[in-house]
């Protein structure tokens, strides 16, 4: 077994087992951490395919940004674990059956010869930088979808703000700009009183 094949099976085994753990883990924080492991092993597989750009982006964006935020959300939410897993045992047989059918189907269909890959060969010579190639493609041939991806992000921003930003009349909040502009005379009233000479 070559080194490459060895690493391929290592990463794949970790990937599949951590993906299983994401589903079966009792604690949702653990599930998220297993998902991180999943992504890291997937990026390992991509490195083996010499797709270093995708591998690095996967780690930077998903593991570094998305999953960390996701972890915060999961930690802050009060999720009832028992309720979340309530139907797990009951639905397990059906789920396993569907999964098994799908695995068999995919094994039958996703054969290398169906994709014109009867003889396995190295992808790329290892001398080309696919980061550079992707950059070139994105800003030339794929310029139009790339711009629209930016529109999708803008829609995401508008959507998030429209769903969450609201002024509720019954909520009490402090307006910092008014707060720093406050003067002594707003808060303290000097009252002339006759002194009490008892």
Partner 1 sequence: MNFAVPNFLPALPEIFLLVSICGVLVVDLFLTDEQRWLTYVLAQFALLLTALAVVFGFSGETVTTFGGMFIGDPLSVLLKVVILLFSTVIFLYSFHYLRAGGQLRGEFFTLALFGILGMMIMVSAHNLLLFYVGLETFSLCLYTLVAYNRDAPKGAEAAVKYFFLGALSSGLLLYGFSLLYGTTGTLSIPEMAAVLTAAGADGSVNPATLFGVVFVVIAIAFKLGLVPFHMWVPDLYEGAPTPVTLYLSTVGKLAALGMAVRLLVDGLGPLFVHWQELLVVLAVLSIALGNLVAIVQTNIKRLLAYSTISHMGFFLLGLLTGTPDGYSAALYYMVVYALTGIAGFGVILLLSRKGFEAERIDDYKGLGRRQPWYAFLMMLVMLSLAGVPPLVGFWAKYSVLMSVISIDMIWLALYALVFSVVGAFYYLRVIKVMFFEESPMVQPVSATADMHWTLTLNALALLGFGLIPGGLLDFCRSVWG
Rg of the chain in Å (alpha carbons): 28
Between CA 81 and CA 88, with CA 101 as vertex, the angle to 5 degrees is: 15
* 48-56, 70-78, 91-99, 109-117 -> range binding partner 1 (CB under 8 A): 109-117
Three-class SS of 63-113: HHHHHHHHHHHHHHCCCCHHHHCCCHHHHHHHHHHHHHHHHHHHHHHCCHH
Q: Which is nearer to partner 1, 82 or 109 (CB)?
A: 109
Among 93, 126, 145, 169, binds partner 1 (CB under 8 A): 145
Minimal distance, residue 165 CB to partner 1, in Å: 10
135 forms part of the interface with partner 1 (CB under 8 A): no
Q: Are 35 and 15 in contact (CB under 8 A)?
A: no
23 forms part of the interface with partner 1 (CB under 8 A): no
Neighbours of 59 (CB within 10 A): 17
Non-local CB neighbours of 52 within 8 Å, separated by 6+ positions:
46, 130, 131
118 forms part of the interface with partner 1 (CB under 8 A): no
Among 151, 180, 188, 191, binds partner 1 (CB under 8 A): 151
Among 77, 125, 166, 187, binds partner 1 (CB under 8 A): 166
* 42-50, 143-151, 174-182, 186-194 -> range binding partner 1 (CB under 8 A): 143-151
Tokens for 99?
């999964």
Minimal distance, residue 187 CB to partner 1, in Å: 30
* Site residues, partner 1 (CB under 8 A): 105, 108-111, 114-116, 136, 140-145, 148-149, 151-152, 154-156, 158-159, 161-163, 166
């Amino acid at each position: 077994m070559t080194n490459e094949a060895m690493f391929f099976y290592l990463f794949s085994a970790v990937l599949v087992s951590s993906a299983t753990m994401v589903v079966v883990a009792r604690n949702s924080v653990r599930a998220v951490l297993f998902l991180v492991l999943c992504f890291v092993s997937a990026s390992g597989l991509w490195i083996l395919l010499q797709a270093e750009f995708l591998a690095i982006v996967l780690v930077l964006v998903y593991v570094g940004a998305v999953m960390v935020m996701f972890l915060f959300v999961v930690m802050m939410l009060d999720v009832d674990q028992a309720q979340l897993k309530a139907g797990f045992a009951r639905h397990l047989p059906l789920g396993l059956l569907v999964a098994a059918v799908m695995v068999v189907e995919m094994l039958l269909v996703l054969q290398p010869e169906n994709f014109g890959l009867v003889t396995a060969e190295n992808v790329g010579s290892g001398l080309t930088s696919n980061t550079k190639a992707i950059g070139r493609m994105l800003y030339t041939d794929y310029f139009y979808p790339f711009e629209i991806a930016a529109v999708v992000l803008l829609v995401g921003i508008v959507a998030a703000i429209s769903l969450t930003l609201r002024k509720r009349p019954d909520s009490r909040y402090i307006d910092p700009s008014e707060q720093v502009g406050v003067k002594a005379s707003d808060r303290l009233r000097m009252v002339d009183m006759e002194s009490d000479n008892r």
